[in-house]
Chains A and B, each alone.
Chain A
Amino acid sequence: MNHYKLTGHAATTPAVASRKGRRSIASVAGKLWNERYLYLLLLPGLLYFIIYRYVPMLGNVIAFQDFSPFQGFLHSDWVGLKHFKKVFEDREVIRVIWNTLYLSFLQIAFAFPVSIALSLMLNEVRGERYKRVVQSLVYLPHFLSWVVVAGIVTVMLKSDGIVNHFLQTGFGIPAIPFLTAPHWFMPLIVLEVIWKESGWGTIIFLAALAGVNPHLYEAAVVDGANKWRQIWHITLPSIRSTIIILLILRLGSVLDVGFEQIFLMLNPLNKEIGDVLDTYVYYKGIQNSDFSFATAVGLFKSLVGLILIVGANKLAKRFGEEGIY
């Protein structure tokens, strides 16, 4: 790979391009004609982006209307910021935003460190074969669908499932309603994320750990450092920047907690605590046809997300790292 950056600054427009004024229309047309087949290749993808990515962005205008499917975009009544006012006044929306942030916080606080711990453990494994087997096992759940994961959890945790049976016969604990009790919702979601994604999350850390100079460990051993001190003084500091960057970028998408997983675990009994922005937009907009309000909530989410990502990226660059764009 060459060292081309995505920022686009390095996009080497031909020298001609800088001499704008002097270029005649004919030469532009000539260049375009020469590139005609390239544009032909570009066209289907471009149409896709315009129709399915950018037209919907424009479609967000219905957040400023009282949209009715019968009147369409053009003839629905304009109501200005009415729906946005409602977004900030509606107790339900506030609760949903709170749920989203709280869940994100839990995931960062509990799921994220598991990946780090797991990669530290994997890094200590010396047997190459054993290491590969364990890696294969911990990566696997990443490729399962959320329906499958939620399905397994449902079957294992229901009131007469294996986990409750074990708790009952082993410890005499009465059946716990894991799936319906509201206070079990968030822990379950976080545990699922840990099971499904923490193995996968080790890849980047393991790559960073592979780059640590082995001489450092040799020197530490000479100084009499035991395994724990080596991890504390050498291993962790050497992946510190990776950890910081991943954390910052995770903060940038703090409002994205994953529609499918949440939706599949929601039921009428835990909806109060489990509803997050994406699922709320789905229920309001698609199930209840409250299009304008749901779009306003969605647009609010996208705009905050945009600010957060750009901010996170700036922050990452301040730490001397490349951002995501």
Chain B
Amino acid sequence: MVLLALVGLLMLFPFYYMIATSFTSGAESATKTFVLFPQKWVTDAYQYIFNSRVFVRSLFVTAGVTVVGSLFSLLLTSMMAYPLSRNITGQRFFLFLVLFTFVFGAGIIPTYMVVKATHLIDSYWALIIPGAINSFNLIVLRQFFLGIPNDLTEAAVLDGANDLQIFARIIMPLSKPALAAFGLFYAVTSWNTYFNALIYINDPDKWTVQVILRQIVILSQRLDSLSDGQQAAIAQAAPPGETIGMAAILIATVPILALYPFLQKHFAKGVMLGSVKG
């Protein structure tokens, strides 16, 4: 019991440390090496960050890519999962195509070349299309569709509905909870992904928030040095780098924290679904 409470606190400590640091004033952090209980809670770092065009732009970019990308992924995944849950001709072949990607990856370089050949380098679509369908999600969603009783669709067929109508008017509305879960899954992945932005995006104007975070927190670059020089003038007044870094991390984590209650519920279920396999 006690040990477990300690484990819980250990998980929590970095968060507290980040919060404390991010609200510390420049004067205070200059005199101490670290601060656990700031004498005065100030929002200098946050003001500085939200005044930084680079950071705010990266937040908008990431949010946009996340929203568009998740919807796009969700649409593509469900459109493909539905036919695979019906006995279409060639079903086994198509399923094999999907399952084979579990065991054999194409590799970083050839994938990069295809992304390049399809003119996605430095396009926001490079952050969306190459990972549009997660094979695992596709298979689990197909399992879900298989579980929908046939009676419902048969009734619709008698009413003269075609497969497109059945998909749009019956299957999709019935699957709302599952779609919400997979949408969240795609959204978190998209928000957190660093790799795609690293290799497919060279233009600093299109950097996602994860890239900016790495530049300022891990590589200790100054936020103002990332911008187009306009803000260099106010560099003198900037709060200490560490404070800014912690504040930036917290801002980039807030969306995840906001979604966390939903995530926890759906994800634990998803893990079990995956392991029990319908």
Instruction: Please name all residues of chain B whose beta carbon is closer than 8 Å to the beta carbon of A299 when the two chains form the complex.
Output: 107
Name the residue on B nearest A9 (C-beta).
B92
In angstroms, how far is the closest chain B Cβ from the Cβ of A264? 6
Task: Please give, as numbers and ranges, the residues of chain B lying within 8 Å of A294 by CB-CB distance.
Answer: 108-109
Shortest distance in angstroms between A19's beta carbon and chain B's nearest beta carbon?
A: 15
- Which chain B residue shows the least CB distance to A154? B218
Query: What's the Cα separation between A147 and B95 when bound, in Å?
Result: 34
Q: Contact check, A12 vs B87: say whether CB atoms are below 8 A apart.
A: yes
Give residues of chain B (66-112) contacting chain A, Cβ–Cβ below 8 Å.
76-77, 79-80, 82-84, 86-89, 91-92, 94-99, 101-112
Sorting the interface of chain A by its residue count into under 10, 10 to 19, 20 to 34 or 35 or more gives 35 or more
Q: Among the listed stretches A88-96, A103-111, A181-189, A305-313, which one makes contact with chain B, having 4 or more residues with CB under 8 Å of it?
A: A305-313
**Are A51 and B118 in contact (CB-based, < 8 A)?**
yes
Chain B residues whose CB sits within 8 angstroms of the CB of A310 once the complex forms? 103
Chain B positions within 8 Å of A48 at CB level: 76, 129, 132-133
Question: How many contacts between A and B, using CB within 8 angstroms?
Answer: 268
Q: Is the interface of A mostly helix, strand, loop or mixed?
A: helix
Contacts A134-B5, A286-B108 given: A39-B76 contact, CB under 8 Å? no
Which residues of A are found within 8 Å of B242, using beta-carbon distances? 155
Q: Tell me whether B60 is interfacial, beta carbon within 8 Å.
A: no
Question: B162 an interface residue at 8 Å Cβ cutoff?
Answer: yes
Distance of A223 from chain B, by nearest CB (Å): 25
Question: Is A26 engaged at the interface, CB distance under 8 Å to the other chain?
Answer: no
Find residues 21-65 in chain A having any chain B CB closer than 8 Å to their own CB: 28, 31-32, 35, 37-42, 44-46, 48-49, 51-60, 62
13 contacts between A and B (CB under 8 A): A6-B139, A8-B96, A35-B86, A35-B163, A45-B76, A49-B101, A54-B106, A125-B4, A139-B264, A140-B11, A146-B192, A151-B218, A151-B245
**Interface of A toward B, CB cutoff 8 Å:** 1-6, 8, 11-14, 28, 31-32, 35, 37-42, 44-46, 48-49, 51-60, 62, 118, 121-122, 124-125, 130, 133-134, 136-141, 143-148, 150-152, 154-156, 160-162, 165, 195, 199-200, 203-204, 207, 259-260, 263-264, 278, 281-282, 285-286, 291, 294-295, 298-299, 301-302, 305-306, 309-310, 322, 324-325
5 A-B pairs with least C-beta separation: A45-B80, A59-B110, A56-B106, A145-B192, A298-B107
